[in-house]
Amino acid sequence: MTDFLLLEEICELNSKAARPALLHQKGVAAKGRFCPYMSLADHTSASFLADPELETPVTVRFSKTMGELGSGDSERDTRGFSVRFHTKQGAYDLICHNFPVYYIKDPAKFPEMVRSLSFSQQEYGRKPNFWKFLSQNPEAMNLAIRLYSDQGTIKSYRCMEGYSVNTYGWVNEQGKEVYVRYRWNPCCEGEENDEKGKGISYQEAEFLAGFSPDCCVSDLVFALEEGSFPAYELEIQMMEQGQAERCGFDAFSVTSLWPEQQFPYMKIGKMSLERILPKEQAERLCFVPSNLIQGVQFANEEFLRIMDYAHKDGGRQRGARK
């Protein structure tokens, strides 16, 4: 009986132990501030966008999508760029990644996608199912072409762009809704300005993966320690409801782009990072799509609801906090 109770207690302890995330295991987080360039109250009732004098604290996490904690930062991969605005109305999580499109548009394919991207416990290296997944989901080729260009290999988070991919609805005090997509544009200077969004060559990425596997994390940490505070401008594309109906493409599909000629980006604010978050706190962060505030809502609710559940449940399994 004593052994049985002991085993029960051990099982209970094991079930409470934090598990590593399937995706976005390796990353780095920082604290900073966001300030809008102008009042956007005509388009949204979100308080942090209403006053150009108001500074909103933010928490940011950059991460690799694939690979374990010891993997190289420069390896070919998609990358997360998640921002939490700590507003007077509550937390608003803007979850982005470094490409303007996503692998899938049907949320029912999410488990298949995760399995194709995750490491196998039965095999060394990545599952060959990744290529099978791409061949069976032609909408993923829009992302794959970018992934297998130099954009898929980077050496600095300070020069990395971030795209919301999803379409959000902004609602003003009068109840009028417009659709928006976000982009974070890094404010690099000098030679770094030429590097933003471009990535590095495959040869340089392979060298850094062995010589400096933590190059992206270290680059951000050293920059903040030396007083060089990375900054990113927040830009939006905006679409009226009538335009969404007549544009000739699915404005809510995460595998499609909005033509910049038709819907140009507009700069609306700037975010500056100030200090690195301790690793223990960074690993317990859980960004959730349903962390919304008044004036901001889902546009593609079916897709975001599934992603929301996946983020929440993944956070629970890791013992993370929203």
Q: What is the DSSP string of 70-106?
A: TS-TTSS--EEEEEEEEETTEEEEEEEESSSS-S-S-
Label residue 85 by pLDDT band (50, 70, 90): very high
Q: What is the pLDDT of residues 115-148, one digit of tens each?
A: 887 754 444 445 567 888 888 999 999 999 999 9
Q: What is the pLDDT of residues 16-63, one digit of tens each?
A: 655 666 677 889 999 999 999 999 999 999 999 999 999 999 999 999
Q: What is the pLDDT of residues 238-254, one digit of tens each?
A: 999 999 989 888 899 99
**Residues linked to residue 35 through DSSP beta bridges, in sequence order:** 270
Selected residue with higher pLDDT from 5 and 234 = 234
pTM listed for this prediction: 0.87
Q: What is the pLDDT of residues 163-194, one digit of tens each?
A: 999 999 999 999 999 999 999 999 976 555 55
Does the pLDDT value for residue 306 go beyond 80? no
Give the per-residue pLDDT at 15: 55
Selected residue with higher pLDDT from 7 and 59 = 59
Between 98-112, 142-156, 195-209, 269-283, the lowest mean confidence (pLDDT) is in: 195-209
- Structural domains of the chain in order of their starting residue, each with its CATH number: 25-318 (2.40.180.10)
Selected residue with higher pLDDT from 52 and 307 = 52
Give the per-residue pLDDT at 95: 94
Q: Name residues whose C-beta falls within 8 Å of residue 37's C-beta, 6 or more positions apart in sequence.
A: 52, 267, 268, 269, 270
The tokens of 207 are what? 């060298």
